[in-house]
Amino acid sequence: MRDQGDYLFTSESVSEGHPDKVADRISDTVLDAFLTADPYSRVACETLVTTNRIVLAGEVRGPDTVTPELLIHLARMAVHDIGYDQDGFSWRNAKVECHLHAQSVHIAQGVDAAGNKDEGAGDQGIMFGYACLETPDLMPAPLYYAHLILRRVNEMRKNNDKAVAGLLPDAKSQVTLRYVNGKPVGATSIVVSTQHAEGLDQAQIKQMLLPIITSSLPEGWMCPDEELYVNPTGTFIIGGPDGDCGLTGRKIIVDTYGGAAPHGGGAFSGKDPTKVDRSAAYACRYLAKNVVAAGLAEKCTIQVSYAIGVSRPLSVYFDLHGTGKDVDETRLAKVVNEMMNLSPRGIREHLQLNRAIYVPTSAYGHFGRVPDPEKGTFTWERTDLADALKAAFGR
Protein backbone atom coordinates (compact mmCIF):
# COMPACT_ATOMS: atom_id res chain seq x y z
CA MET A 1 0.00 0.00 0.00
CA ARG A 2 1.26 3.49 -0.82
CA ASP A 3 2.34 5.65 2.09
CA GLN A 4 0.98 8.94 0.68
CA GLY A 5 -1.48 10.21 -1.92
CA ASP A 6 -5.14 9.65 -2.69
CA TYR A 7 -6.27 6.16 -3.68
CA LEU A 8 -8.65 3.28 -3.00
CA PHE A 9 -7.57 0.10 -1.23
CA THR A 10 -9.54 -3.10 -0.68
CA SER A 11 -9.22 -6.06 1.69
CA GLU A 12 -11.43 -9.11 2.20
CA SER A 13 -12.25 -11.42 5.07
CA VAL A 14 -14.04 -14.74 5.38
CA SER A 15 -16.03 -16.25 8.23
CA GLU A 16 -15.14 -19.30 10.30
CA GLY A 17 -17.62 -21.25 8.18
CA HIS A 18 -15.82 -20.56 4.91
CA PRO A 19 -14.50 -23.92 3.58
CA ASP A 20 -10.83 -22.89 3.83
CA LYS A 21 -11.38 -21.64 7.37
CA VAL A 22 -13.12 -24.87 8.35
CA ALA A 23 -9.93 -26.62 7.21
CA ASP A 24 -7.76 -24.18 9.18
CA ARG A 25 -9.89 -24.69 12.28
CA ILE A 26 -9.54 -28.48 12.11
CA SER A 27 -5.78 -28.27 11.54
CA ASP A 28 -5.36 -26.01 14.56
CA THR A 29 -7.61 -28.32 16.58
CA VAL A 30 -5.21 -31.16 15.80
CA LEU A 31 -2.26 -28.96 16.78
CA ASP A 32 -3.83 -27.97 20.10
CA ALA A 33 -4.63 -31.61 20.87
CA PHE A 34 -0.96 -32.53 20.54
CA LEU A 35 0.29 -29.49 22.46
CA THR A 36 -2.15 -30.28 25.28
CA ALA A 37 -0.66 -33.75 25.55
CA ASP A 38 2.96 -32.59 25.10
CA PRO A 39 3.93 -28.91 24.67
CA TYR A 40 6.91 -29.93 22.54
CA SER A 41 4.99 -32.01 20.03
CA ARG A 42 5.78 -31.50 16.37
CA VAL A 43 2.80 -31.03 14.08
CA ALA A 44 2.31 -30.15 10.43
CA CYS A 45 -1.34 -30.94 9.74
CA GLU A 46 -3.14 -30.23 6.47
CA THR A 47 -6.91 -30.63 6.19
CA LEU A 48 -9.19 -31.00 3.17
CA VAL A 49 -12.95 -30.57 3.50
CA THR A 50 -15.55 -31.21 0.82
CA THR A 51 -19.07 -32.62 0.60
CA ASN A 52 -19.48 -34.74 3.75
CA ARG A 53 -15.78 -35.61 3.83
CA ILE A 54 -12.85 -34.47 5.98
CA VAL A 55 -9.29 -35.63 5.29
CA LEU A 56 -6.37 -35.06 7.70
CA ALA A 57 -2.82 -35.50 6.39
CA GLY A 58 0.68 -34.48 7.40
CA GLU A 59 3.48 -35.24 9.83
CA VAL A 60 3.48 -35.38 13.61
CA ARG A 61 5.67 -36.35 16.53
CA GLY A 62 3.88 -36.61 19.83
CA PRO A 63 2.37 -38.86 22.49
CA ASP A 64 0.59 -42.07 21.51
CA THR A 65 -2.37 -40.89 23.59
CA VAL A 66 -3.30 -38.59 20.72
CA THR A 67 -4.87 -41.31 18.62
CA PRO A 68 -6.47 -41.11 15.17
CA GLU A 69 -9.79 -41.87 16.82
CA LEU A 70 -9.40 -38.88 19.15
CA LEU A 71 -8.47 -36.58 16.26
CA ILE A 72 -11.45 -37.75 14.21
CA HIS A 73 -13.73 -36.99 17.16
CA LEU A 74 -12.14 -33.55 17.65
CA ALA A 75 -12.55 -32.75 13.96
CA ARG A 76 -16.26 -33.52 14.24
CA MET A 77 -16.56 -31.32 17.34
CA ALA A 78 -14.86 -28.44 15.52
CA VAL A 79 -17.42 -28.70 12.71
CA HIS A 80 -20.19 -28.86 15.31
CA ASP A 81 -18.93 -25.69 16.98
CA ILE A 82 -18.83 -23.84 13.66
CA GLY A 83 -22.42 -24.85 13.12
CA TYR A 84 -22.55 -27.29 10.21
CA ASP A 85 -25.34 -29.84 10.39
CA GLN A 86 -26.53 -29.73 6.78
CA ASP A 87 -27.32 -32.46 4.28
CA GLY A 88 -24.10 -31.85 2.35
CA PHE A 89 -21.81 -31.27 5.34
CA SER A 90 -22.62 -32.36 8.88
CA TRP A 91 -20.54 -33.01 11.96
CA ARG A 92 -22.68 -36.08 12.57
CA ASN A 93 -22.08 -38.13 9.45
CA ALA A 94 -19.23 -36.62 7.42
CA LYS A 95 -16.61 -39.25 6.64
CA VAL A 96 -13.38 -38.35 8.46
CA GLU A 97 -10.07 -39.90 7.41
CA CYS A 98 -6.80 -39.50 9.34
CA HIS A 99 -3.59 -39.95 7.38
CA LEU A 100 -1.15 -38.27 9.76
CA HIS A 101 2.22 -40.04 10.01
CA ALA A 102 5.57 -39.68 11.76
CA GLN A 103 7.74 -36.63 11.10
CA SER A 104 10.69 -37.18 8.77
CA VAL A 105 13.85 -38.01 10.70
CA HIS A 106 15.82 -35.83 8.27
CA ILE A 107 13.73 -32.80 9.19
CA ALA A 108 13.91 -33.69 12.88
CA GLN A 109 17.71 -33.89 12.91
CA GLY A 110 17.95 -30.35 11.55
CA VAL A 111 15.43 -28.88 13.95
CA ASP A 112 16.26 -30.67 17.22
CA ALA A 113 18.80 -29.21 19.61
CA ALA A 114 21.76 -31.55 20.18
CA GLY A 115 25.09 -31.07 21.94
CA ASN A 116 26.23 -27.48 21.32
CA LYS A 117 23.66 -27.03 18.54
CA ASP A 118 20.62 -24.91 19.37
CA GLU A 119 17.20 -25.74 17.97
CA GLY A 120 17.09 -24.90 14.28
CA ALA A 121 14.36 -23.43 12.13
CA GLY A 122 11.84 -25.97 10.85
CA ASP A 123 12.23 -24.74 7.28
CA GLN A 124 13.85 -22.06 5.16
CA GLY A 125 11.76 -19.02 4.33
CA ILE A 126 11.01 -15.33 4.71
CA MET A 127 8.45 -13.89 7.12
CA PHE A 128 6.99 -10.41 7.50
CA GLY A 129 5.33 -8.36 10.21
CA TYR A 130 3.50 -5.05 9.94
CA ALA A 131 1.79 -2.41 12.05
CA CYS A 132 0.33 1.03 11.37
CA LEU A 133 -1.74 3.71 13.08
CA GLU A 134 -4.91 3.25 11.01
CA THR A 135 -6.90 1.45 13.75
CA PRO A 136 -6.73 1.08 17.54
CA ASP A 137 -5.23 -2.40 17.09
CA LEU A 138 -2.54 -0.97 14.78
CA MET A 139 -3.86 -2.86 11.76
CA PRO A 140 -4.66 -1.78 8.19
CA ALA A 141 -8.18 -0.34 8.22
CA PRO A 142 -9.72 -2.21 5.23
CA LEU A 143 -8.94 -5.61 6.74
CA TYR A 144 -9.81 -4.51 10.28
CA TYR A 145 -13.36 -3.56 9.26
CA ALA A 146 -13.81 -6.53 6.93
CA HIS A 147 -13.00 -8.82 9.88
CA LEU A 148 -15.16 -6.84 12.30
CA ILE A 149 -18.30 -7.06 10.17
CA LEU A 150 -18.09 -10.85 9.85
CA ARG A 151 -17.05 -11.41 13.44
CA ARG A 152 -20.08 -9.50 14.71
CA VAL A 153 -22.47 -11.35 12.39
CA ASN A 154 -20.97 -14.67 13.50
CA GLU A 155 -21.25 -13.81 17.20
CA MET A 156 -24.90 -12.89 16.75
CA ARG A 157 -25.57 -16.10 14.80
CA LYS A 158 -23.98 -18.29 17.46
CA ASN A 159 -25.90 -16.45 20.18
CA ASN A 160 -29.16 -17.20 18.32
CA ASP A 161 -29.85 -13.50 17.89
CA LYS A 162 -33.20 -13.13 16.08
CA ALA A 163 -31.79 -10.19 14.11
CA VAL A 164 -29.76 -12.64 11.99
CA ALA A 165 -32.13 -15.62 12.07
CA GLY A 166 -31.64 -17.75 8.97
CA LEU A 167 -28.03 -16.75 8.31
CA LEU A 168 -25.66 -19.74 8.08
CA PRO A 169 -21.92 -20.20 8.77
CA ASP A 170 -20.31 -19.49 5.37
CA ALA A 171 -19.70 -15.80 4.63
CA LYS A 172 -17.29 -13.36 2.98
CA SER A 173 -16.79 -9.61 3.21
CA GLN A 174 -14.85 -7.03 1.24
CA VAL A 175 -14.23 -3.42 2.22
CA THR A 176 -12.88 -0.70 -0.07
CA LEU A 177 -11.67 2.47 1.65
CA ARG A 178 -10.75 5.83 0.21
CA TYR A 179 -7.40 7.25 1.32
CA VAL A 180 -6.58 10.96 1.31
CA ASN A 181 -2.93 11.88 1.85
CA GLY A 182 -2.33 8.27 2.82
CA LYS A 183 -5.04 8.21 5.54
CA PRO A 184 -8.33 6.28 5.37
CA VAL A 185 -11.38 8.56 5.40
CA GLY A 186 -14.35 6.37 4.46
CA ALA A 187 -15.72 3.41 2.55
CA THR A 188 -16.52 3.64 -1.14
CA SER A 189 -17.95 0.11 -1.47
CA ILE A 190 -18.67 -2.91 0.73
CA VAL A 191 -19.49 -6.47 -0.28
CA VAL A 192 -20.97 -9.07 2.07
CA SER A 193 -22.06 -12.51 0.92
CA THR A 194 -23.57 -14.86 3.46
CA GLN A 195 -25.03 -18.32 3.26
CA HIS A 196 -28.68 -18.40 4.28
CA ALA A 197 -31.63 -20.68 4.81
CA GLU A 198 -34.29 -21.15 2.17
CA GLY A 199 -37.04 -18.57 2.30
CA LEU A 200 -34.82 -15.51 2.80
CA ASP A 201 -34.42 -13.17 -0.15
CA GLN A 202 -31.68 -10.71 -1.00
CA ALA A 203 -33.61 -7.66 0.27
CA GLN A 204 -34.30 -9.29 3.65
CA ILE A 205 -30.64 -10.21 4.12
CA LYS A 206 -29.53 -6.68 3.23
CA GLN A 207 -31.97 -5.31 5.81
CA MET A 208 -30.49 -7.68 8.43
CA LEU A 209 -26.90 -6.75 7.67
CA LEU A 210 -27.18 -2.99 7.09
CA PRO A 211 -27.24 -1.94 10.78
CA ILE A 212 -24.41 -4.34 11.61
CA ILE A 213 -22.23 -3.01 8.80
CA THR A 214 -23.00 0.64 9.54
CA SER A 215 -22.28 0.32 13.26
CA SER A 216 -19.02 -1.55 12.57
CA LEU A 217 -17.56 1.45 10.73
CA PRO A 218 -16.53 4.83 12.17
CA GLU A 219 -19.29 7.45 12.02
CA GLY A 220 -19.66 8.89 8.55
CA TRP A 221 -17.67 6.12 6.86
CA MET A 222 -20.58 4.12 5.40
CA CYS A 223 -20.54 3.75 1.64
CA PRO A 224 -23.48 4.90 -0.55
CA ASP A 225 -26.38 2.45 -0.59
CA GLU A 226 -25.85 1.66 -4.26
CA GLU A 227 -22.27 0.59 -3.43
CA LEU A 228 -23.36 -1.87 -0.72
CA TYR A 229 -23.46 -5.30 -2.37
CA VAL A 230 -25.19 -7.99 -0.29
CA ASN A 231 -25.30 -11.49 -1.79
CA PRO A 232 -24.79 -10.07 -5.29
CA THR A 233 -25.47 -13.47 -6.93
CA GLY A 234 -28.95 -13.35 -5.39
CA THR A 235 -29.02 -16.76 -3.68
CA PHE A 236 -26.46 -18.44 -1.41
CA ILE A 237 -28.08 -21.52 0.13
CA ILE A 238 -25.51 -24.19 -0.78
CA GLY A 239 -22.37 -23.14 1.07
CA GLY A 240 -19.49 -24.32 3.19
CA PRO A 241 -17.53 -27.41 2.14
CA ASP A 242 -20.59 -28.72 0.29
CA GLY A 243 -20.43 -25.74 -2.03
CA ASP A 244 -16.67 -25.43 -2.39
CA CYS A 245 -13.68 -27.55 -1.38
CA GLY A 246 -11.64 -26.14 1.51
CA LEU A 247 -7.92 -26.54 2.21
CA THR A 248 -5.65 -25.46 5.05
CA GLY A 249 -3.60 -22.37 4.32
CA ARG A 250 -5.47 -20.88 1.38
CA LYS A 251 -6.39 -17.63 3.12
CA ILE A 252 -2.96 -16.33 4.09
CA ILE A 253 -3.73 -12.72 3.13
CA VAL A 254 -6.94 -12.79 5.19
CA ASP A 255 -4.84 -14.24 8.02
CA THR A 256 -2.30 -11.40 7.93
CA TYR A 257 -2.68 -7.83 6.62
CA GLY A 258 -5.21 -7.96 3.81
CA GLY A 259 -2.60 -7.21 1.16
CA ALA A 260 -1.44 -3.98 2.81
CA ALA A 261 1.92 -5.55 3.67
CA PRO A 262 4.11 -8.28 2.13
CA HIS A 263 3.65 -11.96 2.94
CA GLY A 264 6.40 -14.54 2.86
CA GLY A 265 4.10 -17.21 1.43
CA GLY A 266 3.92 -19.68 4.30
CA ALA A 267 0.61 -20.52 5.94
CA PHE A 268 0.13 -20.70 9.72
CA SER A 269 -2.62 -23.11 10.72
CA GLY A 270 -1.74 -26.67 11.71
CA LYS A 271 1.96 -25.86 12.31
CA ASP A 272 3.68 -26.11 15.68
CA PRO A 273 5.88 -23.17 16.76
CA THR A 274 9.17 -24.72 15.59
CA LYS A 275 7.85 -23.86 12.13
CA VAL A 276 9.10 -20.33 11.57
CA ASP A 277 6.39 -19.78 8.95
CA ARG A 278 4.19 -19.30 11.97
CA SER A 279 6.32 -18.33 14.96
CA ALA A 280 8.59 -15.86 13.17
CA ALA A 281 5.62 -14.17 11.51
CA TYR A 282 4.15 -13.75 14.99
CA ALA A 283 7.47 -12.34 16.24
CA CYS A 284 7.63 -9.86 13.36
CA ARG A 285 4.11 -8.61 14.07
CA TYR A 286 4.98 -8.32 17.77
CA LEU A 287 8.06 -6.23 17.07
CA ALA A 288 6.42 -4.06 14.41
CA LYS A 289 3.47 -3.38 16.71
CA ASN A 290 5.77 -2.39 19.56
CA VAL A 291 7.75 -0.03 17.32
CA VAL A 292 4.54 1.77 16.31
CA ALA A 293 3.10 1.66 19.85
CA ALA A 294 6.31 3.26 21.11
CA GLY A 295 5.75 6.21 18.77
CA LEU A 296 8.93 5.54 16.81
CA ALA A 297 7.04 5.40 13.49
CA GLU A 298 3.55 5.54 12.01
CA LYS A 299 4.15 2.38 9.97
CA CYS A 300 6.62 -0.46 10.31
CA THR A 301 7.37 -3.50 8.16
CA ILE A 302 9.81 -6.16 9.33
CA GLN A 303 11.26 -9.06 7.34
CA VAL A 304 13.31 -11.95 8.71
CA SER A 305 14.72 -14.98 6.93
CA TYR A 306 15.83 -18.44 8.06
CA ALA A 307 17.53 -21.59 6.82
CA ILE A 308 16.31 -25.02 7.87
CA GLY A 309 18.29 -26.34 10.82
CA VAL A 310 19.97 -22.96 11.52
CA SER A 311 18.97 -21.19 14.72
CA ARG A 312 19.87 -17.57 13.98
CA PRO A 313 17.94 -15.52 11.43
CA LEU A 314 19.93 -14.91 8.26
CA SER A 315 18.61 -11.36 7.96
CA VAL A 316 16.51 -8.84 9.85
CA TYR A 317 15.16 -5.88 7.85
CA PHE A 318 13.15 -2.84 8.98
CA ASP A 319 11.21 -0.40 6.79
CA LEU A 320 9.53 2.55 8.49
CA HIS A 321 8.04 3.82 5.21
CA GLY A 322 9.46 7.29 5.69
CA THR A 323 7.44 7.74 8.91
CA GLY A 324 10.25 7.15 11.41
CA LYS A 325 10.52 9.81 14.09
CA ASP A 326 14.27 10.45 13.78
CA VAL A 327 14.89 6.71 14.03
CA ASP A 328 17.68 5.04 12.08
CA GLU A 329 16.38 1.71 10.76
CA THR A 330 19.77 0.00 10.99
CA ARG A 331 20.11 0.96 14.65
CA LEU A 332 16.51 -0.06 15.28
CA ALA A 333 17.24 -3.55 13.95
CA LYS A 334 20.23 -3.80 16.28
CA VAL A 335 18.24 -2.61 19.32
CA VAL A 336 15.40 -5.03 18.62
CA ASN A 337 17.82 -7.94 18.22
CA GLU A 338 19.17 -7.15 21.68
CA MET A 339 15.67 -7.07 23.18
CA MET A 340 14.41 -10.32 21.68
CA ASN A 341 16.16 -13.53 20.73
CA LEU A 342 14.90 -14.27 17.21
CA SER A 343 16.02 -17.88 17.14
CA PRO A 344 13.11 -20.34 16.92
CA ARG A 345 13.64 -21.28 20.57
CA GLY A 346 13.93 -17.63 21.62
CA ILE A 347 10.67 -16.73 19.88
CA ARG A 348 8.81 -19.70 21.37
CA GLU A 349 9.96 -18.86 24.88
CA HIS A 350 9.45 -15.08 24.64
CA LEU A 351 5.91 -15.39 23.25
CA GLN A 352 5.07 -18.58 25.19
CA LEU A 353 4.01 -20.44 22.07
CA ASN A 354 4.30 -24.04 23.32
CA ARG A 355 0.71 -24.08 24.50
CA ALA A 356 -2.68 -25.07 23.11
CA ILE A 357 -3.60 -21.54 22.04
CA TYR A 358 -4.13 -21.84 18.31
CA VAL A 359 -7.80 -22.65 17.64
CA PRO A 360 -8.83 -19.00 18.23
CA THR A 361 -6.37 -17.87 15.55
CA SER A 362 -8.02 -19.92 12.81
CA ALA A 363 -10.63 -17.30 11.85
CA TYR A 364 -10.80 -13.49 11.66
CA GLY A 365 -7.05 -13.00 11.44
CA HIS A 366 -3.99 -13.89 13.46
CA PHE A 367 -3.20 -10.22 14.06
CA GLY A 368 -5.07 -7.28 15.51
CA ARG A 369 -6.58 -9.49 18.21
CA VAL A 370 -6.81 -8.91 21.97
CA PRO A 371 -4.34 -10.84 24.15
CA ASP A 372 -5.96 -12.93 26.87
CA PRO A 373 -3.52 -13.35 29.79
CA GLU A 374 -5.63 -16.10 31.37
CA LYS A 375 -5.85 -18.23 28.23
CA GLY A 376 -2.41 -17.22 26.97
CA THR A 377 -3.71 -16.35 23.51
CA PHE A 378 -2.36 -13.73 21.09
CA THR A 379 0.76 -12.95 23.13
CA TRP A 380 2.30 -11.44 19.99
CA GLU A 381 -0.26 -8.61 20.24
CA ARG A 382 1.19 -7.34 23.52
CA THR A 383 3.01 -4.00 23.52
CA ASP A 384 5.24 -4.76 26.49
CA LEU A 385 8.42 -3.70 24.65
CA ALA A 386 7.15 -0.20 23.87
CA ASP A 387 8.59 1.47 26.98
CA ALA A 388 12.01 -0.13 26.47
CA LEU A 389 12.01 0.99 22.84
CA LYS A 390 11.11 4.51 23.87
CA ALA A 391 13.95 4.56 26.38
CA ALA A 392 16.43 3.19 23.83
CA PHE A 393 15.68 6.13 21.55
CA GLY A 394 15.41 8.77 24.28
CA ARG A 395 11.63 9.21 24.14
pLDDT of res. 105:
55
Contact 125, 279 (CB under 8 A): no
Contact 228, 202 (CB under 8 A): no
Tell which CATH classification among 3.10.20.440, 3.30.300.10, 3.10.20.520, 3.40.50.10420 matches the domain 7-14+140-239.
3.30.300.10
Does the pTM surpass 0.75? The reply is yes
Contact 285, 127 (CB under 8 A): no
Residues near 357 by beta carbon (within 8 Å), at least 6 away in sequence: 32, 375, 376, 377, 378, 379
pLDDT of res. 116:
44
Residues of the chain below pLDDT 50:
114-117
**CA 124 from centre of chain:** 21
Contact 19, 49 (CB under 8 A): yes
Q: What CATH code would you report for 125-133+275-392?
A: 3.30.300.10
Contact 172, 15 (CB under 8 A): yes
- Residues 352-357: contacts with CB under 8 Å, at least 24 apart: 352/376, 352/379, 353/273, 353/279, 353/282, 353/379, 354/35, 354/39, 354/40, 354/273, 355/35, 355/39, 356/31, 356/32, 356/33, 356/35, 356/36, 357/32
pLDDT of res. 152:
98
pLDDT of res. 124:
86
Question: What DSSP string runs through 170-190?
Answer: EEEEEEEEEEETTEEEEEEEE
pLDDT of res. 111:
59
Residues near 395 by beta carbon (within 8 Å), at least 6 away in sequence: 294, 295, 296, 389
- Pairing between β-strand 183-196 and β-strand 228-230 as defined by DSSP bridges: parallel
pLDDT of res. 3:
75
Same-fold call for 7-14+140-239 versus 125-133+275-392 = yes
The residue type found at 312 is R
Q: Where are the domains of the chain?
A: 7-14+140-239, 125-133+275-392
pLDDT of res. 119:
72
